[in-house]
Amino acid sequence: MKVLAVAGVVVLFLSTLWAGSAFGHGSTIDPPSRNYGCWQRWGHDFQNPAMATEDPMCYQAWQADSNAMWNWNGLYREQVGGDHQGAIPDGTLCSAGNTGGTRYAALDEPGPWEATELDTRFTATVHDQALHGADYYRIYVTRQGFDPLTDELGWGDLELAGETGRIAPGEGTPSSEPSLGGVSVDIEVDASGRSGRHIVYMIWQASHFDQTFYGCSDVIFR
């Protein structure tokens, strides 16, 4: 029994190490993407039964595939060629078209995900853990009237609210957080005319390779 317990600790340690290592890539960390937020809140306590009532959407995601949280920095597709809508069907935007099989599928579930309260003009922060740089970052926000509690996210629900040009590898603010490393890039976002619950959708076209990262973040506009 002691051997099994030690083995479990080793697996947990390696999973956490991998998530924060140079093999990682990145995600939106403010407002946090669904899987990054779940990892941030529960990665240290993911077996706590209280998650089921305190954070039910994270709970269903952990139950579906815990690797979606340990690998919060690996939600990407390759060889998209800029055709995001062609590569990712409606209803699967948060999982990037079920990239990695069903690993991230639970992130597509509508429901009361933990949401960040924001003004409609805000700064989105994407973390580039492995210093990939970017051809561009694009930040979309759902149209007024979309209901993240009940509606599956489709491309027609989104409006472009912020974007960048090319970001050189290593450009950004270095992180002092040991589990992150790398740099963070800020994108100014204008979501004027909205109120209540919304989804912020991030597309990050990495510059080192045809590799595109995606992420859904839940917000409440004041």
pLDDT digits (tens, 9 = 90+) for 27-38: 999 999 999 999
Both structure tokens of 5: 């317990």
For the domain that residue 156 is a member of, what is the CATH number?
Answer: 2.70.50.50
Q: Into how many domains does the chain fold?
A: 1
Average confidence (pLDDT) over 190-198: 98
The string of pLDDT tens digits covering residues 76-105 is 999 999 999 999 999 999 999 999 999 999
The β-bridge partners of 99 are: none
Domain that holds residue 179: 2-221
What's the CA gap between 167 and 218, in Å, rounded? 25
Distance of CA 159 to the CA centre of its chain: 18
Write down the pTM of the prediction: 0.88
The string of pLDDT tens digits covering residues 109-165 is 999 999 999 999 999 999 999 899 999 999 999 999 999 999 999 999 999 999 999
The string of pLDDT tens digits covering residues 16-58 is 333 333 345 899 999 999 999 999 999 999 999 999 999 999 9
The string of pLDDT tens digits covering residues 118-130 is 999 999 999 999 8
Q: In sequence order, what DSSP letters do the residues of 26-59 get, joined into one string?
A: EEEEETBBHHHHHHHHHTTSTT-TTHHHHSHHHH
**Pairing verdict, β 26-30 and 173-174:** unpaired
